[in-house]
Amino acid sequence: MIGSNPARALVGYGPDTMGLVFGPFAPPALGQLEGRWVLPDRAHNAVLDTVVAGGLVGLLAEGLFATLLVVAHCVVRPGWVRRAWRCYLFAAVAAAVAAHVVEVQVDSRPPCRVCCCGCTPG
């Protein structure tokens, strides 16, 4: 799907358009497996979903944004993790974020785009 149009590989198809653009690329076996009129509305992991929605530019922007958040936190508040409880809190939050990043790579449920935490509905 991404390889069929180089411009779309660069900028993507737009948010929440996977169900609209996947039809021509769906393999016939998918219709036999899931039903004739069923098409997925999300890719099976977060990176592919980001590439379909925003292209390589969107994927790069999302990675850059996450990196800038961490760097900004370390630069603006470098002494923040010096106290023991803050160090444990920072480690716990970092572990939770890392676990969530791994989870969205292998979980087939779509991430919730409404709330900021990326929780999965239902």
Contact 33, 8 (CB under 8 A): no
In this prediction, residue 115 carries a pLDDT of 45
pLDDT exceeds 50 at position 6: yes
**Spans of all domains in the chain:** 6-106
The mean pLDDT of 31-57, rounded to a whole number, is: 80
pLDDT exceeds 60 at position 61: yes
The DSSP output letter for 23 is G
In this prediction, residue 23 carries a pLDDT of 79
Q: What's the rounded Cα separation, in Å, for the pair 114 and 121?
A: 10
Contact 120, 111 (CB under 8 A): yes
In this prediction, residue 3 carries a pLDDT of 75
φ and ψ at 35, to 5 degrees?
120, 155
The mean pLDDT of 11-40, rounded to a whole number, is: 80
Torsion over CA: 56, 59, 62, 68 (sign): negative
